[in-house]
Amino acid sequence: MKTIGLIGGMSWESTAVYYELLNRMVRERLGGLHSAKLLLWSFDFAQIEAYQATGNWASATAAMVEAARSIEAGGADCVVICTNTMHKMADDVQNAVGIPLVHIADTTAAAIKSAGVSQPLLLATAYTMEQDFYKGRLKQLHGIDVMVPDETGRSTVHGIIYEELCQGVISARSKTRYLDVIGRARNAGADSIIFGCTEIGLLISQADFDIPAFDTTELHAAAAIDFAMS
């Protein structure tokens, strides 16, 4: 089994989900006492969030590159960035190391294509919904056009991620607000939902919908295990 290098702590709430998923998936495949071989670099998220909020993407990139190089030096065989938003600098991270990066958008695209849907709604941080690093990759490499909520919806989704989910707060009221955002998008033609932030699966799940919902955390973890066991 290859060693998976995780860049996490963004937030640790979702990184903990990655850790559980990766180990559970290995046990399901191999049985017994088997678990995943992992190295974890975990950030103080307050530092990263400050870079995001001020648009200091150069410092954020430098921090991510340092983390990737550290886990490579520690013996990791691949890099897994445990957040959608910080895939903004995925190309810089990949270029800085000699081991492959398992890209969360590529694993999500494969699931979307397999489901045969054509108008997925992207729920994510404002950075991921509004910038092109994620949507553009889905379009350019995979031919997938995504919808995003309107401005009010984007503000709702983003605020709940940072003010609640990243701080371990799970609120029934916030779930209702998410379902309202999704309902409006469905009325506008959305035929599926991308949980494009790794914390969103803490609040809503496939069980809440009668259309496909793509939990990027689960998909990413499964792709990392596929790599590790190949």
Do 78 and 164 sit in the same domain of this protein? no
Do 223 and 144 sit in the same domain of this protein? no
Answer yes or no: are the C-beta atoms of 97 and 72 closer than 8 Å: yes
Q: Is 197 a catalytic residue?
A: yes
Q: Summarize the confidence of residues 12-31 as an average pLDDT.
A: 97
Do 118 and 83 sit in the same domain of this protein? no
DSSP class of residue 147 equals B
Residue 20 pLDDT level (bands cut at 50, 70, 90): very high
Give 212's contacts (C-beta < 8 A, 6+ positions apart).
115, 117, 191, 192, 193, 206
| Tokens read off for 162 | 């940072």
Sign, Cα dihedral of 184, 150, 10, 193: positive
Do 209 and 111 sit in the same domain of this protein? yes
Do 109 and 99 sit in the same domain of this protein? no
> What pLDDT digit, counting tens, does each position of 95-124 carry?
999 999 999 999 999 999 999 999 999 999
DSSP class of residue 101 equals B
Do 87 and 162 sit in the same domain of this protein? no
| Tokens read off for 40 | 């974890």
Catalytic residue among 15, 61, 83, 85: 83
Query: What is the span of the domain harbouring residue 79?
Result: 4-103+219-228
Give 177's contacts (C-beta < 8 A, 6+ positions apart).
156, 160
Do 111 and 191 sit in the same domain of this protein? yes
The model's pTM is 0.96
Average pLDDT, the chain: 98
Q: Is 156 a catalytic residue?
A: no
| Tokens read off for 11 | 């937030």
Distance CA 81, CA 34 (A): 23
CA 116 to chain centre: 21
The reported pLDDT for the residue numbered 177 is: 98
Q: Tally the domains of the chain.
A: 2
Catalytic residue among 85, 197, 198, 217: 197
CATH number, domain of 74, equals: 3.40.50.1860
Do 168 and 134 sit in the same domain of this protein? yes
> What pLDDT digit, counting tens, does each position of 157-213 carry?
999 999 999 999 999 999 999 999 999 999 999 999 999 999 999 999 999 999 999
